[in-house]
A and B are shown apart, each in its own frame.
Chain A
Amino acid sequence: MSFLPHGMAFRQALHRLAGKPLSTLLSALVVAIALTLPALSYVLIDNLASLANGVTGKPEISVFLKKEVTAEKAQAMENRLRADKRIVAIRFIGRDTALKQLAARGGFADVTGALSENPLPDAFILEPGGEDPKVFEAIRTSLTAMPEVLHVQLDSAWVERLHAAVELGRWVALLLAALLGTALIIVTFNTIRLQILTQRHEITVSLLLGATRAFVRRPFLYFGLLQGLLGGVLAWGMVQGLVLLIAPRVQALARAYNIVVDLAGPSVWQGLALLVFAAVLGWLGAGLSVRRHLHDGAVD
């Protein structure tokens, strides 16, 4: 089998695209907009994920003790905790120390001064070893079960929440991609349907003169592929542009939280993946359309 018919079909498809620049551009824009939303979400989620990965350092576990726990009992508990191999470091912060620390923080002096009684509990600050969230969770459970303990707070909780949010965001991006990918297929399906209608006569004559169905099909498939590809290129540019547009705003917001964020656009690989995705969906939409519309009475 020679490549000649493929080259010819490819040129024919290019010719059709170039022959109607305005409608080509419009279709490609529709495809691009359909692709931009999921692609942009994906890129933003990706940025959030790398941010979340950057802050998974050392979590702290704060253990607040009940008021009735005496100093001896607290000491006994500290000894027990030191024996626990999952815990790397322990710091005891007595309720008085805690109050002084609070008072030292700007703005709280008046409040603490006005209190007749210290409302703060004794506390331990633990530093667990490793980075396994399951281990942290296990430590928290065993601590909570101890009779002396009032409340346990895992300081890495917000990091976990961030990770969960990223996970959710990924799902949403995927869902959007599926939804708008379907839209892309439908757009191509319809474009090709109209083309087949306007070229019905040429198709009929070609089949009459001995063209195979594959031969007739091919230019439409290439058309779908090229239109998808063009839409993909536009979408890549749009995502890049939107990232540049929102980056300064995100940075301003991040600075308010003392975080340094460098918003990155899609990587080359992500861009290429986008192009492949767009091209494959275009091809698919064209294929479905051709399968559906070339059957009904193309010849007589």
Chain B
Amino acid sequence: MIRFEHVSKRYDGGHEALANVSLEIRHGELLVLAGHSGAGKSTLIKLIAGLEKPTAGKVWVSGQDVGSLRQNQLPYLRRSLGLVMQEHRLLTDRTVYDNVMLPLLVTGYPPRDAAKRVRVALEKVGMGTFEKAMPLTLSGGEQHRVAIARAIVNRPSVLIADEPTAHLDPAYAREIAALFRSFHAAGVTILLATHDDTLFSPYGARRIELAKGRLLA
């Protein structure tokens, strides 16, 4: 499903954020990516989404070499992924409903079915009653859940989340972890980057760890 072949990434003028990383994420897997701050977790996710290009090696997603995709092919790759970035990036001038609607809007999804999908996604993350709320009036955990609803509204086969439980109190964090667990149970392939990998160990997740850009055995 997702495969890294000897991937290195060096940012302009920076040191190596990823060094010779090879890994495979199989269909239906729940994978936790651990590592200290600055280990390269976010970089790895950006390479999958085509937000950055590898300096060396190849990243394969669903049989496509992401690094060699052209600018006009990238949107279609991103539509097949559900992304929850480290900063949740909700649009603060739009309601919760409109935020979750955005992925359907940009992909030209038929408007009539779209409304239903948005409601379903919000229900799944337990935010069904917050449709009309503005993001800034929500707590951090609630904003996170809206971001997750936005990531799953397109029903992606892969869900990738960067630090979904960071800055949350333990109760919220457990709630979110359970949410991902339920998506996994529904057959979605899941990649989670997190400091706090103990949250997911009860769910039998596979765990890999990055340290200074290298994958620990």
Contacts and interface: CB of A to CB of B under 8 A. Distances in A.
A204 to B, nearest CB: 7
A202 B78 contact: no
B107 A210 contact: yes
Nearest to A209: B103
Interface string B106-121: 1110000000000000
Contacts of A202: 91
Interface string B53-95: 0000000000000000001100110110001010001010000
Size category of the A interface is 10 to 19
A205 B103 CA distance: 9
B33 interface: no
A4 interface: yes
B89 A211 contact: no
A300 B79 contact: no
A212 interface: yes
Interface in A170-224: 201-202, 204-213, 215
A210 B91 contact: no
A53 B182 CA distance: 85
B49 interface: yes
A32 B75 CA distance: 39
Given A202-B91, A300-B46, A209 B78 contact: yes
Interface residues of B, number: 22
A2 interface: yes
A41 B72 CA distance: 45
B102 interface: yes
Contact of A206 (B52, B76, B106): B106
B145 interface: no
A5 B75 CA distance: 15
B41 interface: no
Tell which of A210, A299, A300 has the most Cβ of chain B within 10 Å. A210
Given A209-B150, A300-B46, A300-B52, A2 B108 contact: yes
Contact of A201 (B85, B91, B103, B154): B91
Contacts of B71: 213
A212 B75 contact: yes
A210 B52 contact: no
A4 B107 CA distance: 11
B51 interface: yes
A8 B91 CA distance: 19
A242 B102 CA distance: 48
A215 B108 CA distance: 10
A212 B78 CA distance: 10
Interface of A: 2, 4-5, 8, 201-202, 204-213, 215, 299-300
Given A208-B78, A210-B154, A299-B51, 9 more contacts: A8-B105, A201-B89, A205-B102, A207-B78, A208-B51, A209-B107, A210-B106, A211-B75, A211-B106
15 contacts: A2-B108, A201-B89, A205-B91, A206-B106, A207-B75, A208-B83, A209-B102, A209-B103, A209-B107, A210-B106, A211-B107, A212-B72, A213-B75, A215-B75, A215-B106
A-B pairs, 10 with minimum CB distance: A211-B106, A210-B79, A210-B78, A209-B103, A212-B75, A210-B75, A300-B51, A206-B106, A205-B89, A5-B108
